[in-house]
Amino acid sequence: MNAAAAVTRTLTFYAVLLFLLRIMGKREIGALSPFDLVVTIMIAELAALPMENPDISVIDALVPIFTLTAAEIAVSFLTLKSETMRILLTGTPTVIIRGGEIIESEMRRTRYNLADLMMQLRLKGISSIADVEVAVLETNGELSVIPKSQRRPLAPADIGVETEPEGLPLVLIVDGVVNKANLRYAGLDSDWLIAQLRERNIESVEDVLLASLDTAGRLFVQRKNRSGRRRHADIL
């Protein structure tokens, strides 16, 4: 197999795998169930074999890949509709800590050791098991932690303070390019944006690394780093 054919073959499988993984869903690797992870590894192996072995035709290689993808989609649909299938394939969450005490029997059953438990707690900013109300080992291996009420961060609702709803900021400029759709969504136009930039002594949109508008109407602008000069941001 010559170089051109190898490149074409590789790009074909690359495009097919991207398409198939896209239609299988948006789950992160850390959020994959054991079944999802096995299917992903098998698809990767099936794609690697024909790229290494030119004797395997593209069609012969794609048939098992598409078969596994179809099986993955079918099983995902079944787990969506059937509680029994969901438990069978993904398992159930396990309570590891309750009321500040470790449940040893569940630790042994899930083969979850204390070192992993302490690491997961530290990652969530919890230093003492006594501060934990409930800790649940999820089916994807993540540890969900609910601190005791006395140890939770103070929220505005705890002291009766009313706050305004907050949403995601609208990105208006990225690397010198205006996002016209977001600008229209905010009910603004290019003249307003240019005026805001000039207030910050920025003459061209191309000089902006990022500009975003939050739900309170505050505009954040960061200039590009030119000639090694220090970047700085303006908020108004």
> What pLDDT score does 113 carry?
92
> What pLDDT score does 81 carry?
85
pTM: 0.61
> What pLDDT score does 229 carry?
46
> What pLDDT score does 108 carry?
92
> What pLDDT score does 99 carry?
94
Note the maximum CA span of the chain. Answer: 72
Domains of the chain: 3-88 (no CATH), 94-151 (3.30.240.20), 170-235 (3.30.240.20)
> What pLDDT score does 230 carry?
44
Mean pLDDT by 10 residues, the chain (236 residues): 74 81 62 72 83 81 86 82 81 92 93 92 92 91 90 83 82 94 93 94 92 90 70 57
